[in-house]
Amino acid sequence: MKFLSTFKITKGFDTWLKMYKEIEPDLNELGIKILWAGTNSDETKVFDITEVKDPSKFEVLVKREDITKKRADAGVELESQEVIETITKEYWA
């Protein structure tokens, strides 16, 4: 399952990306992989395309205090997380 989501950040894209690389092994264990991420021009929002092998693992992710703390410390406004849409068909050039 793939989905497009967004969330707000307060410390810029580079800070978020550094944090993501730190938690990436944990995400991989849960079967969660960000395929693409980008930001708006003032680096206050991240948009991403994420693939989740088992959607129930995403629930585990948002409840893990260690990951939640790292995200918050990196400036992610956790309550702003929004799944825009599930992706059912795709084309990658």
User: For position 58, what pLDDT does the model report?
Assistant: 78
pLDDT digit string (tens) for 3-59? 999 999 999 999 999 999 999 999 999 999 999 999 999 999 999 999 999 888 877
Across the chain, the runs of DSSP E, i.e. the strands, are: 2-9, 32-39, 45-52, 76-87
- Taking the complete model, does pTM exceed 0.95, yes or no? no
Give the three-state DSSP class for 1: coil
Number of H helices, E strands in the chain: 3, 4
Q: Mind listing the domains of the chain with CATH numbers?
A: 2-87 (3.30.70.100)
**φ, ψ for residue 64, nearest 5 deg:** -75, 115
